[in-house]
Amino acid sequence: MNQTLSPLMAALIVRWFNMASLLGVSLVLLIAFFYQFVMGELPCPLCLLQRVAFIMVGIGFLMNVRFGSTFMHYGLIVVSALAGTLSSGRQVLLHIVPGTDPYGSALFGLHFYTWSFISFMTILLAVGLIFMVENRVGDARSATAGGRLGLWAGALLLAIVFVNMASTFLECGLGACADNPTVYQLLGWLS
């Protein structure tokens, strides 16, 4: 591969990888919104922490898209994904014992905390693979930044984080969330 991939081509592959990954993280958070707002499933504290971890991963990809890829930005992504495996892995272990009630719906037979764990591991795998291409970028580093499309992808993540912030405030107020939330606390206090 090293003999056939030009620096510019490698930079474009890296650019689209980071852009697609940023949109992928946003898609994961939008699916969580669907189950929260349409299906009426309120996120538990560990679920919210997994969302935070996905957002932290998204921040790393956004930095790659906005400023061009660097090992520092990939470091953010790897550390964030590892942090995500902490909360999702913990929730998998909470419900792994047969007879233990799971939390929330299943998608294709797996619950969302299991999908989270798989997603964080996939992110780590994908970053490992893109490093093989990064090796060829060389002087074309500036072409890894995402331009106008990158700004739109960042704006989408920004909007998603804003909605998460607002819904978490309604659900938990200015304190910790209930372990098994069934109502938006703040809406209950207001009514």
Partner 1 sequence: MIMVLPFIIALMAILFIMRGQAKTGLWLWVLLIGIYLGWCQYHMNDTLAITL
CA-to-CA separations, 174 to 160, 168, 171, 189, 190, in angstroms, rounded: 20, 9, 9, 13, 14
* Minimum CB distance to partner 1, residue 117 (Å): 14
Would the CA dihedral through 149, 34, 53, 185 be positive or negative? positive
The count of residues interacting with partner 1 (CB under 8 A) is: 45
Under the binding rule (CB under 8 A), the answer on residue 187 touching partner 1 is no
- In the list 31, 151, 183, 187, the residue contacting partner 1 (rule: CB under 8 A) is 151
What residues from 8 to 67 belong to the interface with partner 1 (CB under 8 A)?
45-46, 48-49, 52-53, 55-56, 58-60, 62-63, 66-67
Q: What angle do CA 123, 128, 129 make, to 5 degrees?
A: 100
Pick the closer one to partner 1 by CB: 88 or 140. 88
H helix intervals, the chain: 7-33, 45-67, 71-95, 112-134, 147-172, 185-190
What residues from 81 to 120 belong to the interface with partner 1 (CB under 8 A)?
83, 86-87, 90, 93-94, 96-97, 100
Under the binding rule (CB under 8 A), the answer on residue 162 touching partner 1 is yes
